Amino acid sequence: MGEPRTPRPAKLLMSLIASQDDLLHQALEVLEGRYGEVDFKSDPIPFDVTDYYEEEMGKGLFRRFVTFAPLIRREELVRIKLETNEVERRFADPEGRRRVNIDPGYICAEHLILATTKGYTHRPYLGEGIYADLTLIFQDGEFRPLPWTYPDYASEPIRRLLGEIRRRYLKQLRETRS
C-alpha cells in the first residue's frame, strides 16, 4: 500500500490580461499584498490568439505572466482562484464587465496546472466550483502541449518563458532545502 505524502510546494503563476498597463499594475499591487513579492513579471505579450475576451474587455489586449516569491501548497489553488475572481470583480467597470482577467495556476517539476471555473473532460474537479486544467506537461526537457492546451500556451515562445520560470522554481527549491 502506498503511503500518502505531501508533494513539494509549487510556484504560483498568474496570467493577467488587460488593455491598460496601469490597470494591470493596480491589480498586481492587490495580488502582491495577498500572495507576497512578485519575483518575475514578463514583458507585455499581445493577446491576439483569440478574440474570446474582446466583447467583454475590448480590443488591444495584452498579457503579463507573473510569479510570486513564496511557494504554495498545491491544494491552495482553489482558494486562490476564488480570491482572484474577487479581484477581477473589484476592477470591473460599473456594468460589471471585467477589465482585468486573472488566471492563476502553478508550475511544478512535472506540469503546469491552471485553475478554471469551467469543467470539461480533462479538468478534474477540485472543489468549491473550481477545476484543475492540466495545461502543459514537462517531458524530454521541455513543456509540451496536450490536445486541449490553449493555443497561446502551446506556442513556442510561451512554453520557453514557462520553462525559464520552471528553472527558477527548481533553483528556489534547491536553495530552500540547503
Q: How many residues does the structure list for the chain?
A: 178
Cell digits of residue 66: 507573473
What does the buried/exposed string (b/e) look like for 118-151 if buried means 16 or more CB atoms within 10 Å of the residue's CB?
Answer: eeeeebeebeeebbbbbbbebeeeebebeeebbe
Q: How far apart are CA 103 and CA 114, in angstroms?
A: 7
Residue 65 neighbours by CB distance under 10 Å: 18
What is residue 50's predicted lDDT score, i.e. its pLDDT? 87
pTM as predicted: 0.95
Averaged pLDDT for residues 94-112: 97
What is residue 157's predicted lDDT score, i.e. its pLDDT? 97
pLDDT tens-digit profile of 33-65? Answer: 999 999 999 999 999 988 889 999 999 999 999
Phi, psi of 28 (to 5 degrees): -65, -35
Strand partners, 116: 131
Q: How confident is the model at residue 178 (pLDDT cuts 50, 70, 90)?
A: low
Q: Kindly tell me the sign of the dihedral angle through the C-alpha atoms of 148, 91, 56, 66.
A: negative
Averaged pLDDT for residues 137-163: 97
Using DSSP, state whether 72 is helix, strand or coil: strand
